[in-house]
Amino acid sequence: MECYEFTSELHPCSYFKDRQGQFHYFCIKDCSTYFYKGLLERGYRRFGEFFFVPRCPECKECITIRHLVSDFTPSANMLKVMKKNKETLFAFKRPLVNDARVCLYVKYHLRMAKKKGWSFNNIDMQTYRDTFVEGAGEFGYEMCLYRDGRLIGVSYFDIVQDSLSAIYFFYDHDYEHLSLGTLNILLLFSLAKRLNLKYFYPGYWIKDHHSMGYKERFKPFEMLTNEADIFDKTQYKLYKTHQS
pLDDT score for 240: 80
pLDDT at residue 118 above 80? Answer: no
Q: Which amino acid, residue 102? A: V
DSSP element (H, E) containing 64: strand 63-68
Sign for the CA dihedral angle at 242, 188, 83, 102 comes to: positive
| Alpha carbon separation from 60 to 14, 57, 157, 226 (Å, rounded) | 14, 8, 25, 11
pTM for the complete prediction? 0.92
Question: What pLDDT is stored for residue 244 in this prediction?
Answer: 40
Q: What is the CA radius of gyration of the chain?
A: 18
Query: From its phi and psi, is residue 161 left (phi > 0), alpha (psi between -120 and 50) or beta?
Result: left
Residue of 199, 205, 176, 113 lying closest to 184 (CA atoms): 176
CA angle 61/66/68 to nearest 5° reads 150
Q: What are phi and psi of 95, to 5 degrees?
A: -60, 140
Distances from the Cα of 83 to the Cα of 80, 88, 127, angstroms: 5, 10, 36
CA–CA separation, 119 vs 186, rounded Å?
A: 28
The whole-angstrom separation of Cα 191 and Cα 142 is 12
- Compute the distance between CA of residue 244 and CA of residue 5 in angstroms, rounded to an integer: 35
Give the model confidence (pLDDT) of 12-45 as tens digits. 888 888 899 999 999 999 999 999 999 999 999 9
pLDDT in tens, 131-187: 999 999 999 999 999 999 999 999 999 999 999 999 999 999 999 999 999 999 999
Torsion, CA 29, CA 67, CA 108, CA 36, rounded to 10? 0
Tens digits of per-residue pLDDT, 162-178?
999 999 999 999 999 99
